[in-house]
Amino acid sequence: PQLANQIAAGEVVERPASVVKELVENSLDAGASQIDIDIEKGGSKLIRIRDNGAGIAEHELVLALSRHATSKISELNDLAQITSLGFRGEALASISSVSRLTLTSKPAGQTAAWQAQAEGRDMTVTVKPAAHPDGTSIEVVDLFFNTPARRKFLRTDKTEFSHIDELVKRLALSRFDVSWQLNHNGQSVRRLPQATTLIARQKRVAALCGRAFAEHAAFIENSYGGLKLSGWLLAPQACQQQPLCQYSYVNGRMMRDKLLNHAIRQAYGERLSQEQQPGFVLFLEIDPAEVDVNVHPAKHEVRFHQARLVHDFVVSALSDALAQLTD
């Protein structure tokens, strides 16, 4: 199984940031409201994710580390309507086949915590008692230690960490209800408390997107039919040549979508010069039946069934907000 898992890992685990992505998505799926991430040496030495989510029962630990074991798809039917972020039950098995992975967990309400580790070519899982608060910790040590070809492709610690930081940033912008901590080599890089009020959320956006966003961004909220657009938009006079913050989400998923980007640019219109870059953190909510999100999972693209309608709604919602910003 190790080889099969390593082959699967080739698809899932490209670099430390992809490990962080899979593990954090599992924590979010488990309903965590606090996620702490410790990184050493850009993630090549250590990636540790600790959450306060639902935890994993002792008898499910072994299963969690085996391929195609997912607790999230009960019937084939569900595949068409996966709302959880996880996919195919491959991530943990894949990651543990190319690292030294330790899984420690305690489901809420249980008294004992357990630790599991998969080792050797046959990926035998050993389980032993451990100490852990409610929730789950996953430690990934020495990523790619047994796949030298992949390890060689890692960039500098700084570059690998910047990919992780970017990922955490875009996750933190989409989940204000979660408290995030990110440390690198023992130093605190991000510390974002849960943000439940609008002011607290605004503070988080400013912390992640920079001061211009604190001072020159407007909060917008607009809906039309089944469409809802909310978020922050940077005043044209504060837009620079370097894009400050450009994040858009469709039903909570980060997207880099041509149609949305076009609509945003069109809304700014003449207010921006050729060189200026818009700044935005925008959330579009739409009936899931009206979009295909699986067009290009890796490219963050969606296909709207009523593309024209969505485009025009975004242009008009943002134009209104921008008109007020510049008045």
Q: State the nearest-atom distance from the C-beta of 12 to Mg ion, in Å.
A: 9
Which amino acid, 91?
A
Contact 179, 192 (CB under 8 A): yes
Q: Which does 239 bind (CB under 5 to 8 A by kind): ligand ADP, Mg ion, none?
A: none
Q: Rounded CA gap, 118 and 127, in Å?
A: 9
For residues 43 and 55, which CB has a smaller minimum distance to ligand ADP in the complex?
55
Among the residue ranges 2-10, 73-81, 91-99, 186-194, the one whose residues contact Mg ion (CB under 5 A): 91-99
Mask for 118-137, x = binds ligand ADP (CB under 6 A): ------------------x-
What phi and psi values does residue 184 have, to the nearest 5 degrees? -125, 125
Which amino acid, 106?
K
Contact 245, 280 (CB under 8 A): yes
Beta partners for 152? none
The kind and range of the H/E element at 286 are none
Among the residue ranges 30-38, 83-91, 208-216, 276-284, the one whose residues contact Mg ion (CB under 5 A): 83-91
For residues 175 and 201, which CB has a smaller minimum distance to ligand ADP in the complex?
175
Q: State the nearest-atom distance from the C-beta of 261 to ligand ADP, in Å.
A: 30
What phi and psi values does residue 140 have, to the nearest 5 degrees? -115, 110
Per CB under 5 A, 86 contacts Mg ion = yes
Mask for 55-94, x = binds ligand ADP (CB under 6 A): xx-------x----xxxx-------------xxxxxxxx-
Q: How many Cα atoms are found within 13 Å in the side-chain-facing hemisphere of 212?
A: 16
**What is the per-residue DSSP string for 149-175?**
HHHHT---HHHHHHHHHHHHHHHHHH-
Q: State the nearest-atom distance from the C-beta of 98 to ligand ADP, in Å.
A: 13
Mask for 36-55, x = binds ligand ADP (CB under 6 A): ---------------x-xxx
DSSP structure class, residue 252: T
Binding site for ligand ADP (CB under 6 A): 22, 26-27, 30, 51, 53-56, 64, 69-72, 86-93, 136
